Chain A
Amino acid sequence: MSAEVFEPYQVFVRRDALDAMEHVGTVMAASPEMAVLVARQNFLRRDAAVGLWVVADADMHSANTDPQFFAEELDKSYRRVDGYSDNARRWKRFKQQALQLQDIVRDLESKEG
């Protein structure tokens, strides 16, 4: 049986300055420096990117694999936008519309601002 010579590294890519790092795969390499070099060509020979991370597999920690770790069973609408959809109806009484984030973004983008 053949023992491993290289070590696995997990590879993460940032495609654009506004994107989060995205996991794209694994490479085998002799060192973190070589892992970065081979990951560049194994995962980004066609796609553009602005960032690349490699993390030694041994340093990766993941969430508990039991799906219960991600359980969200009860109503959590109080922490979401759609939990407040009745605002629009209630504003009508005051002859106003509910304010949305995109209204503010639009204000800031408009030249008159």
Chain B
Amino acid sequence: MAQDDKAARGPSVAEGAALVDLLLQMADDDLVLGHRHSEWLGVAPDIEEDVAFSSIAQDEVGHAALYYELASQLGAGDADRLAFDRPVGERRSAAFVELENGDWARTAMRHFLYDAFEEVRLDACTRSGWQPLQRAATKVRREEFYHRLHSRTQLHHLAKAGGEAFARLEHALADLWPYVASLFDLGPHAAELRATGVLPADAAALRSAWEAVVVPELSELGFGVPACGGTDATSAAHRGAHHPALAELLTTMRAVLDVDAAAASW
């Protein structure tokens, strides 16, 4: 009942700032990873997979657009401006999604780890007391079903091949692992988000839910999983400690916009 009242009332000013920050984390993560995935267009390992992976990339960008729209409704500004105009320092994406694609093994491994993460973050959002987020998360969660199935099936195939593929995946896992912690940084408003029921989970709970999903699966496939802990004290553990590749990505994204600053529409 209390939650319904709040949804009807809309978030308070303070809650609004916390909400916008959460929405931008989710949007920036999905936009940056969708952008990275789309770099495989036309050059995936086979034609059918090229088409399939493009759908996943489009979904990620589409989900980002949905979260930017929600932030926009809270007064954060136009969705496209949120996606294109914010400088590196204002970005809320995790270094995990910013890292370059590398080879297909790293892409497959990141796809697997990230979509498992999205699942636990979205599960928490489907219990959100803020209805617009709860509804958005429920929709997105349905589209993520395919992503999870695709990422797991592909990883199982590649890992079971052994040899070069397995070695490349192992290498990818080692490259990616230090950045995992950045996904679980819920930002400066984490306590408030939890207290107000906007995001009824904390970082430690999300991380242990994620580990419960991915660690047994990775172990079963024969991967030695690096030491797990609630919080890694690596330099990449915080949103805001961006990977150097993000700056280049943002410059690329602005390439057309910067051609004609006076243009009102494209």
Contact = CB atoms under 8 A, between A and B. Distances in A.
A and B touch in the complex (CB under 8 A): yes
A38 to B, nearest CB: 4
B55 A34 contact: no
B52 A30 contact: no
Given A27-B48, A28-B46, A38-B48, A45 B55 contact: yes
A33 B153 contact: yes
B154 interface: yes
A40 interface: yes
Interface residues of A, number: 14
A38 B46 CA distance: 11
Contact of B154 (A6, A28, A34, A41): A34
A38 B153 contact: no
B80 interface: no
Given A6-B46, A28-B46, A40 B157 contact: no
B49 interface: yes
Contacts of A31: 157
Interface residues of B, number: 14
Contacts of B146: 37, 40
B153 A37 contact: yes
A37 B51 contact: no
A55 interface: no
Nearest to B146: A40
A29 interface: yes
A30 B154 CA distance: 10
A29 B48 contact: yes
A79 B178 CA distance: 73
A92 B211 CA distance: 79
A34 B153 contact: yes
Contacts of A37: 52, 146, 149-150, 153-154
Interface string A35-56: 0011011100100000000000
B52 A42 contact: yes
Q: 6 tightest CB-CB pairs across the interface, nearest first?
A: A38-B48, A41-B52, A41-B55, A38-B52, A42-B51, A27-B48
Interface of A: 6, 27-31, 33-34, 37-38, 40-42, 45
